[in-house]
Copies of this chain bind each other. A is one copy, B any other.
Amino acid sequence: MPTQTAAQRRAAAKQAYNAYIAACPSRQLLATLGDKWVALVLVALGSGGARYADLARHIAGVSQKMLTQTLRVLERDGLVRRKVTAAVPVRVDYALTPLGRSLLPVVAKIKSWAETHMDRVLLARAEHDAKRPAQ
């Protein structure tokens, strides 16, 4: 008889599961893509390299913090390359790596499904909400 039973066993199971799920490649990718700005940055860089300020302007609503953070994550993952040119005002260019470019078709697939079916989803959502207006 263990001093702690159900709670402990569940905790252990969760640990094991978290380790498992953390190791799942798909979940890792989804965790990355799901980040609010990753896809935007990927697409913005898809048409070629860009400077930091270009990205900030092109993606508009993004805060400095999130743009920097997103770029750092993508760089860390080998999806984006960061090139610093030492000049009087420093110049920093970002570009997709081959690995990053290989991800573009996936994003395109997502975009394609979204453009084809998202109206159905929004319709379903509206109908569902209509049944519970005071929710």
Binding site for B on A (CB under 8 A): 13-14, 17-18, 20-21, 25-31, 33-36, 39-40, 60-61, 75-79, 99, 102-103, 106-107, 109-111, 113-115, 117-125, 128-129
Contacts and interface: CB of A to CB of B under 8 A. Distances in A.
Contacts of A99: 117, 120-121, 124
A4 B41 CA distance: 31
A26 B114 contact: yes
Nearest to A77: B121
A14 B59 CA distance: 11
Oligomeric state, in number of copies? 2
Nearest to A124: B78
A68 to B, nearest CB: 15
A117 B20 CA distance: 18
